[in-house]
Amino acid sequence: MTASMSQCLMQMVHTDYQISDYQSAITPRWCTGCGDNAILTAMQRLCRDEQLPPEKTVCVSGIGCASRLPHYMNAYGFHGIHGRALPIAEGIKIRRPDLHVFVTTGDGDCCSIGAAHWLHAVRYNMNMTMLLHDNNVYGLTKKQASPTSPKGLKSNTTPFGATLNPLNPLSVTLGIANVSFVAQVPDWIPELLYDVLSKAYHHKGFSFIRILQRCPNFMNHHFDAAVQDPLRIRMLTHSNGLRLKPELSRIYKNQETHDPLDLHRAQALAVLDEEIPVGVLYSNPDVPCYDELRKGKRPNTPQLVETVLNEEFDKVGIWPEGQQAASNGE
């Protein structure tokens, strides 16, 4: 009650948050042309449009280029340790439903060192939005192959070419129990990036967005084929998913009407060979959320703690003669 009242008061004070209200004093240190810049802008735009109080917004990250994002947001941020952004975010959310939690992570952070947490975060389905900045390479540590690197990629750890087929974050996520929201979007179409982020934010549960993110330094031209040939992108449209504006529709003619509740079609789309599916692959708001399932049924008050402790002590209590009856009588 008090929280919502103070929230109302804050709303009265801040009638209108601007983009600049979500920009921190630190200038982003990402490379020129890095897709992360576009993602940051989309995030700030979302916060502005949703008028999220900065003090109620928490951006959590692990380690890597993508994970620097919280430093550039004027919000609460937690730049944690490699691979562990998700459990930190889950801990934040478990007792604080009032906070808007965003997780920014990269393909190394999420799909390699933090893979176990990714899998379980999908299963927990807690109310938060996760942005996987997938540039198919380790950038911060200067070009090593990542789990999503294409086979044959020459990197510092694979000088003769990566030997394995890449992991597909979409098909993996869509195969996990309790999956509730999966989307894919490239960084180079700002309108779509924003729309997908907005869909994810409004989704109830754990929203997973894989963002195809360009790395001009180590993977230059990697996505050129898709950038230059709109037909390589299959736009997934639906009244419950993305709705393309006419100007985008004219460019991206390869479209499919896809119901985001159709998991089987989503799983098929996730593994398209030559084309990149863009849009909301899956969205189901009816999957139970762990944070709601584990929500405290009663507030933790001193009176309650005292009562429960005494109940427990009674079960294993030894009383001086004559005293036990008195206690039971109360």
Partner 1 sequence: MTEYGMQTSSHDAPPSESGVASRKLPARGPAEVIQEHIVEIVSDSGEGAQRCGQALASIAARSGHGIWTVEIIPAEIQPPHRSVAGASGNRVRMAAHKVTNVGDQADLVIAFNEQVLLSRLQAKEIKPGAVILIEDMWKHDKDPAIAENYARVTADVRAQGYRLFEIPMETECHKYVPDARKGKNMFVLGILCTIYSLDKALAEAQVRLTFAKKDQKIVDANLELLAAGRAWAEDNLAVRYMIPAAPVVKPQIVTNGNAALALGVVASGMEVCAMYPITPATSASHYLSTIFEKVGCVVHQAEDEISAATFAIGASYAGKCAVTITSGPGLSLKQEAIGLAVMTEIPLVVIDVQRGGPSTGLPTKVEQGDMMSAMFGSHGDAPKIVMAVDSIEDCFYSVITARKIAETFNMVVVILSDAALSTAQQPFDRPQFNADWLAPPVNQSAVPADAHPYDWDERTGIATRFIPGQPNGMHCLTGLAHDRDSHVAYDPQINEEGLLNRSRKLAAFQKTLRLAPVYGDEEGDLLLIGWGSTRGAIEEAVKTMRAQGHKVSSLHLKYLQPMASGIDAVMKRFGKVMTIENNWNDPKSDPLINDANRRYSHLAMLLRSRWLVDIDCWGNARGQPLKPGEIIRAALAKLNEDKQQAAGGL
Q: Please report whether residue 117 would count as binding partner 1 according to CB under 8 A.
A: yes
**Counting beta carbons within 10 angstroms of the beta carbon of residue 262, is it exposed (0 to 12), middle (13 to 18) or buried (19 or more)?**
middle
Read off the tokens for 260: 């985001």
Q: How many CB atoms lie within 10 A of CB 251?
A: 12
Q: Please report whether residue 166 would count as binding partner 1 according to CB under 8 A.
A: no
Residue written as token pair 């993305």: 242
Q: Please report whether residue 130 would count as binding partner 1 according to CB under 8 A.
A: no
Only segment of 163-171, 202-210, 233-241, 317-325 that touches partner 1 (CB under 8 A): 317-325
Q: How many CB atoms lie within 10 A of CB 191?
A: 13
Nearer to partner 1, 23 or 158 (CB): 23
Q: Please report whether residue 141 would count as binding partner 1 according to CB under 8 A.
A: no
Nearer to partner 1, 163 or 323 (CB): 323
Q: Please report whether residue 231 would count as binding partner 1 according to CB under 8 A.
A: no
Helix (H, G, I), strand (E, B) or coil at 212: strand
Instruction: Answer for the pair 44, 19: CB distance below 8 angstroms, yes or no.
Output: yes
Q: Please report whether residue 185 would count as binding partner 1 according to CB under 8 A.
A: no
Long-range contacts of 44-50 (CB under 8 A, 24+ apart): 44/19, 44/73, 45/19, 45/194, 46/194, 46/197, 46/198, 46/201, 47/17, 47/22, 47/73, 47/75, 48/17, 48/18, 48/19, 48/21, 48/22, 49/198, 50/201
Nearer to partner 1, 246 or 322 (CB): 322
Q: Please report whether residue 8 would count as binding partner 1 according to CB under 8 A.
A: no
Nearer to partner 1, 246 or 296 (CB): 296
Nearer to partner 1, 76 or 188 (CB): 76
Q: Please report whether residue 296 would count as binding partner 1 according to CB under 8 A.
A: yes
Q: Which of 177, 298, 328, 329 binds partner 1 (CB under 8 A)?
A: 298
Of 132, 126, 55, the closest CA to residue 91 belongs to: 126
Q: Which string of x and - marks every residue 74-103 that binds partner 1 (by CB under 8 A)? A: xxxxxxxx--x-xxxxxxxxxxx-xx----
What does the alpha-carbon distance between residue 121 and residue 262 come to, in Å, rounded to a whole number? 21
b/e for 303-327, b at 16 or more Cβ within 10 A?
eeeeeeeeeeeeeeeeeeeeeeeee
Of 59, 175, 52, the closest CA to residue 119 belongs to: 175
Q: Please report whether residue 309 would count as binding partner 1 according to CB under 8 A.
A: yes
Q: Please report whether residue 326 would count as binding partner 1 according to CB under 8 A.
A: no
Q: Which string of x and - marks every residue 37-76 that binds partner 1 (by CB under 8 A)? A: ----------------xxxx-xxx---------xx-xxxx
Only segment of 218-226, 272-280, 281-289, 295-303 that touches partner 1 (CB under 8 A): 295-303
What does the alpha-carbon distance between residue 268 and residue 70 come to, in Å, rounded to a whole number? 34
Nearer to partner 1, 24 or 255 (CB): 24
Closest approach of partner 1 to the CB of residue 310, in Å: 7
Q: Footprint of partner 1 on this chain (CB under 8 A)?
A: 3, 6, 10, 24, 26, 53-56, 58-60, 70-71, 73-81, 84, 86-96, 98-99, 116-117, 119-120, 294, 296-302, 304-306, 308-310, 312-313, 316-321, 323
